[in-house]
Structure 1
Amino acid sequence: MQRLALELIENNLDEQELILVGIEENGLVLAKNIRQLMKQSAAIQTELITLKLNKKKPEAVTLSKEMDFTDKVIVLIDDVTNSGKTLLYALKPFLNAHPRKIQTLVLVERTHTLYPITADYKGISLATTLQDHIYVEIDGDKVTGAYLK
């Protein structure tokens, strides 16, 4: 996660602020950890927002805070990309807002996405089968592990 935070900083050195959008639940924990690590290494301001959606039927997407995203840098954060569907639908609230850029960060990226989504920042990229499952363990506000089953 330290490397992910440093990559975010390095690729956004000219930015005054990043809006970190944690996809509930594990993505939000990851976003909180990334934000804390960024604070230790750089003076880039960060805003943390929670994004809620039903990952099986992502019809409604809600944000914990309404704000103007025009000309802002948004970083969508989730734990695992499986098909790319969650990240794709998580873009909905930002598409009409004209952000300067949208980046994606995941702890584990699987290499068989079904949607045209790839993570800009990934902790690890794994070649898996459709039958494999990645589990990210969370204990409170800490990521304690990621496992392939």
Structure 2
Amino acid sequence: MNKKYILSAEKAHMKLRRIAFQILEQNAEKDAIHIAGVKENGFLIAQELKKVLEEISTFKIELSAIELDKTNPIDCKIDPSVVFKNKNVLIVDDVVNSGKAMLHAIQPILAQQPQSVQTATLVERSYKTYPLHVNYVGVSLSTTLEDHISVVFKNGELHGAYLE
């Protein structure tokens, strides 16, 4: 199967910058935000968003990783020293397919009673099978069940996204 780029590195960075401005606009009255990225690529996207938000906002920004096996998302791990209680949390993943992994990533955070929870993704597939609304989306695609979307990083640098 052939790979078809849906986002070049330049366009992916533009989408992340737009998402950062949307986050700033929707959270203007808040003074802090905790970004939790789903490892591996979701965490790398979270790092990129953090960089942009630090450029354009005065938020105090914390960053943490959510360890989750997307084939078995029930076993979700977050560093126990990370506290989400009464915090504004943004959960980030690179691609939201069915919504299942993102929902499992939300569970341990909700257990700590955050003030708010929002979600962001670079690529969202429009046929989710779980009841999940993503607050901030870079690009939304209608694809077949057989299609696979990957976000590509090389040496920690975002190179884009492709469909195969």
Match of 2:79 among 47, 50, 64: 64
Unaligned runs of 5+ in 1: none
Superposed displacement of residue 65, structure 1: 5.0
Deviation digits for residues 18-54 of structure 1 (CA, Å, limit 9, x no counterpart):
0000100000100000000111111111100000011
Higher mean C-alpha displacement, 61-70 vs 114-123: 61-70
Unaligned runs of 5+ in 2: 1-15
Match of 1:40 among 48, 52, 55: 55
Find the counterpart in structure 1 of residue 145 from structure 2: 130
How many pairs were matched up?
149
Distance (Å, rounded) in 1 between the aligned partners of 2:160 and 2:120: 17
Is 1:120 matched with 2:135?
Answer: yes
Match of 1:18 among 30, 33, 38: 33
Distance (Å, rounded) in 2 between the aligned partners of 1:46 and 1:126: 30
Higher mean C-alpha displacement, 123-132 vs 93-102: 93-102
Find the counterpart in structure 2 of residue 54 from structure 1: 69
Deviation digits for residues 50-106 of structure 1 (CA, Å, limit 9, x no counterpart):
000111112221113523322211100000011101101001211221111100000
Distance (Å, rounded) in 2 between the aligned partners of 1:94 and 1:136: 25
Deviation digits for residues 101-133 of structure 1 (CA, Å, limit 9, x no counterpart):
100000000001010012100000001110111
Find the counterpart in structure 2 of residue 93 from structure 1: 108
Percent identical among aligned pairs is: 34
Q: Judge conservation of contact 2:64–2:82 (CA < 8 Å) in 1.
A: no
More contact order relative to length (CA 8 Å, sep ≥ 6): 2
Distance (Å, rounded) in 1 between the aligned partners of 2:130 and 2:74: 16
TM-score, with length taken from structure 2: 0.87
- Structure 1 stretches of 4+ with a deviation exceeding 2 A read 64-68
